[in-house]
Amino acid sequence: MDKNLTALKPALVWKHFAEIAKIPRPSSHEEKIRAYVIGVAKSLGLECKEDAAHNVYVRKPASKGMENRKGIVLQAHLDMVPQKNNDKKFDFTKDPIEAYIDGEWVTANGTTLGADNGIGAAAILAVLEDDTLEHGPLEALFTATEETGMDGAFGLKKGVLHGDILLNLDSEEEGELYVGCAGGVDANITFKYKAEPTPARNYRAVKLVVKGLKGGHSGIQIVEQRANANKLLFRFIREQKKSMDILLCSVDGGGLRNAIPREATATLMVRTKDLEQLTKELKAYEKVVKAEFAGIEDAVSIKLTETEAPETMIAKEVAENLIRAVVGCPNGVQKMSVSMPGLVQTSSNLARVVSDGKTVKLQCLLRSSVNSEKEELGEAISAVFELAGAKVELTGAYNGWKPNLDSPILAAMKASYKALFGKEPAVTAIHAGLECGIIGTNYPKLDMISFGPTICYPHSPDEKVNIASVGKFYEFLVDTLKNAPLK
């Protein structure tokens, strides 16, 4: 296992990424990565500060002869998504990421890699460090807690940034320039209940486990129609309750709000006489799911094992309503874009379902590039769960970023990419929440583009970044700075 990332090119980018990978930085635990960035900036003698929202801001003067260029803001976020395989012992708040070279890729051992958005941050630090580059006035904006709510972008005050152009380095397909993104809103759902005692006789306790799914980013991978572990879990329970008495004791499905659920577990009580039949039905159900998701989720596993009987269970009426509501909850792609073929316009991800003995809490992340559709989907999901007796709160809403195809920096970057690589870059939008949409609210005159290297399977333990694409991405970034439009 080759862990020597510093041997890769471009050297400065990989040097900083290797250091970043050593620093624990899940969302809301970003103190050490902020300290690293501030330390680098101070060592270079650059103006640097941290704001009240824990964004880090660095300014670098124009190189000689480039003072008449438009000012450019380079932007990336500092946190990462903490996802790991079940059999991996790892503490994201303490342990360094075990990054290593795997052929043409850099990946991690059983966890997310953090190339999202660590490579973007490393590229900015490389630009700040390299005094041989030609560039106009530069600002670097390292935002806080993007993955769990875009807190830093929301907290960015007016008047902090002075540049004319913002380059967001948080996209994941080399050769593509993103000029728009989806907005989003969180649906936070709560069922309250008083736990009931489980039956003392004639019932057996079983654990139902769905695992082996690919998961992934709920914006980028949602178009691939991957299975949602929460939906698969509750679909089976709902189907079996039609013919046998099944009691729901607890549930723990999914993880982060912006990740498609890969795993879900429920503890059930079933009549002893029905256990054999339930086992047969599950085997049949697993075959059905494998057939439905053939070529997409070939590693899906749905298993039933006996377990120790818990003392309490979710109140029967609440459990009934919960099961129906989860089965009925809109999930996945809801509408595709007409104006930009292949782009998801509106989607929902039922990210989390978890009980704690007093409540069952669920979270859905809704995305759309059309604000009215996002709002309508939120009302639809609210209606489903409110009918089931739950409390629903729609929070953290943010607007999308509307494309400007007449953008001066877009024209400059298209010309630069063609000159470097002999072909036009793709110009598109993304069905994910880039910070550009939020930053643009307070800075409406910013000319914005998002781009990056090729990163596969972000937000999952399969995350990897293509080494060659990092080189092309950084070469393109450097050339873009050199050819920035005049003021």
Q: Which residues are catalytic?
A: 79, 146
Pair 459, 349: CB distance under 8 Å: no
CA angle 26/32/36 to nearest 5° reads: 120
Are the C-beta atoms of 353 and 237 separated by less than 8 Å?
A: no
Cβ neighbours for 286, distance < 8 A, ≥ 6 positions apart: 300, 301, 302
**Hey, what's the torsion of the CAs at 57, 63, 66, 71, to 10 degrees?**
0
CA distance 477 to 58: 18
**Among candidates 305, 312, 220, 204, which has minimal Cα distance to 259?**
220
423, burial (CB in 10 Å: exposed 0-12, middle 13-18, buried 19+): exposed
* Alpha-carbon gap, residue 249 to 278, rounded angstroms: 17
**Locus of tokens 């069922």:** 191
The span from the CA of 354 to the CA of 32, in Å, is 30
| DSSP helix/strand/coil, 50 | strand
Q: How many residues does the chain have?
A: 487
Token pair listed for 231: 């939906």
Distance separating alpha carbons of residues 160 and 61, to the nearest angstrom: 16
Q: What stretches of 90-239 adopt beta strand conformation (E)? A: 99-102, 105-108, 138-143, 165-168, 176-181, 183-192, 196-197, 203-211
Quote the DSSP letter at residue 96.
P
Is the distance from CB of 18 to CB of 116 less than 8 angstroms?
A: no
Residue 103 CA to residue 2 CA, distance in Å, equals 10
Q: Please, are residues 324 and 209 in contact by the beta-carbon 8 Å criterion?
A: no
Closest CA to 84 of 255, 257, 267: 255
CA distances from 92 to 96, 211, 273 (A): 8, 21, 44
- The dihedral formed by the CA atoms of 141, 143, 146 and 151, expressed in degrees to the nearest 10: -130
DSSP 3-state of 386: helix
